Chains A and B, each alone.
Chain A
């Protein structure tokens, strides 16, 4: 299985809602990533987990809270988001030491109203 899956595909939430994005991979990868991608822009790194521990936080606002419950799952908890947080949220995974070879999920299209 060489696929990264993400749920939901689309999400519309109000600024007072709490929601979660989910990502799963079964390739045995021990590095997992969350990216935010705005239209016509490159993926922007948010968080990196290595061996289920947060190793990189790119100064992301606390309304985004990542969680890695086990080596196959990655969650992104959302709370009190702003309209400017509307974007495509991509999850990716790779072998440790090979961040250049990342496998991306299809993304969650998030709209904050």
Chain B
């Protein structure tokens, strides 16, 4: 089955700086790579995802990149703000036929004011 590794496990950055979280996956059949944000005591929420036929996707201060050959994908947050503090989970899944999402181990991001 799929195995997703995520680094770092904790990350602290000064407000306004950038944060980068990296993931690797094992199953070459995976073709969707979402990122979920879970604030303390809250539910996980999808913030962005990227598909295997796309190398990069941006949404305001958030960007994701995918290197399908190397089986790497990353989350980039620019101009970080205190409300970005949360646990971020990367994940991998295939499309139709397997309704399963495999999560990475999570990164606790702390923004220092």
With contact pairs A42-B104, A100-B33 given, residues A56 and B91 touching in the complex (Cβ less than 8 Å):
no
Whole-angstrom distance between the Cβ of A3 and the nearest chain B Cβ = 10
**Which of chain B's residues 63-109 have a Cβ closer than 8 Å to chain A?**
89, 91, 93, 95-96, 98-101, 103-106, 108
Report A's interface with B, CB cutoff 8 A: 31, 33, 40-43, 45, 48, 50, 55-56, 90, 94, 96-107
The number of A-B residue pairs with CB atoms under 8 Å apart is: 59
Asked if B99 and A42 sit within 8 Å, CB to CB, the answer is: no
Q: For the complex, what is the distance from the CA of A101 to the CA of B49, rounded to whole Å?
A: 8
Q: Secondary structure at chain A's binding surface: helix, strand, loop or mixed?
A: loop
**A42-B89, A90-B44 known; A100-B105 Cβ under 8 A:** no
Q: Which positions in B face A, CB cutoff 8 Å?
A: 32-34, 42-46, 49, 89, 91, 93, 95-96, 98-101, 103-106, 108
The CA-CA distance from A97 to B97 in the complex, in Å, is 7
Q: Is the CB of A99 within 8 A of B101?
A: yes
